[in-house]
Every structure is written in C-alpha cells, then in structure tokens.
Structure 1
C-alpha cells in the first residue's frame, strides 16, 4: 500500500515537473537538486507561488481571464456582503462590544490594584466613541 502511494506521488511529481519546464533547466544547470525540488513540492504543494517563475508562460489572454474573474468574484462578494449589512445592527453590536470591553477593563483594573484611579477617571466612558449619523 505504501509502495503504491509512493509510486503515485512520484507520478504526480513528474506531471508537476512537466508543467514547470524551467525547473528542469535549473536542475540541469546544477542550481538546484531534484531532491530539493521534490521536498519543496511535498511541503509547499504545487499551487504555492514559489513555482510561478518556473511555469511556461501561457499564450496571450489565457491566464488573464481567470485572474480577472477571480478579482471580480472577490469584489462582487465584498459588495454583496456590504449590501447585506444592517447599519443599525452593526452599530448595536459595536456598542455591545464597547460595553463588554469597558466592563473587562474595569474588572482587570480592580484585580491589578489600580482600580481606584481608573474607576474615577473612566467611569461612564466607553473605550470607543461611536455616534449615530
């Protein structure tokens, strides 16, 4: 079973090297060893940006379309998320978080021994000041 897995791993590595012909040139020039390339491939995976300089450049326009589509997809997801946000709920959550942080600061100041100083100066104030527009 382990031998079969090793054989499959080697075949996957061979396919990877075929997709990155500049790696072959670098190994033949003795700038890198196959062992080094294989170990990096196992540790980092074949989608790591370290392999980008070794890829064959695709014909004009082939790679630009998916990259632009990925950027557009991310931007559209962000716009959709912003549209779905309810400003009132967001403000309410921020206020609750601010009150929780203030309570935690008061609790910590009581245990640290400097509670009397901060409780006099910071009573009623929130660590974040937010206003409604």
Structure 2
C-alpha cells in the first residue's frame, strides 16, 4: 500500500508539516487541501499568504475567507510581472500553433462534409453569367 507520490506532492506535505496552521484551516472548513496545494504551487513557499496565523486565528481566518476578487487578480498580475517576457511569448506562440492545428483539423473534417456537394457540375460562382 506504499504508493509513490509525485515529488511536488511530497514537497507540499513537508511544507504543511512546517506550517501546521494550514491543517487548522482545512479542519475549520475555510480551505480545502486542493485549494491550499494550488495556491502553494502558484505562489511558492515564500509568499506572505503562508504567514503563521496561529496567534491570530479568529480575525485572520475571516479576512482570508472574505478575500475579494480584486486582490486575487492583483496577485496574478504581480506574478505575471515577474515572468520572463521571452518565455511568456514562447508559451503564447506554442499555444497559438496548437490552436491553429486544431482549427486545421476541424476544417478538414468540415471539408469532408461538403465534399460531395462541391463535386456537382454547376458553376462555382453563383453570380457568373453565361454569354449567348
């Protein structure tokens, strides 16, 4: 029954052992393990979100649970500012190529639907006139 965990999950477990107040967050229902893992993965271990709140449990928990969307967007924006623009451009370019490939595949399938109709003997331009 000893199942090997992904290395990032093992690191997260070690991080939780160093920050036992996170266990209380899950027990109180203010966060789930999935949410905490995702935040830890995105923000890193050094983020101010992980500050020890064991001394101020009452007030801090309510503030964290009522965190506004604007603050979350601000966090994401700060992370985007710290990214390497060349690496970000590379990722966007790769994503654009992938979307183009999917569009190409879809157009091929759509082209197969219309293939029997386009084989008719009629003119390709509906507005072309014949000379007498």
Q: TM-score range by the shorter chain?
A: 0.3 to 0.5
TM-score (norm: length of structure 1): 0.36
- Give TM-score, length-normalised by structure 2: 0.36
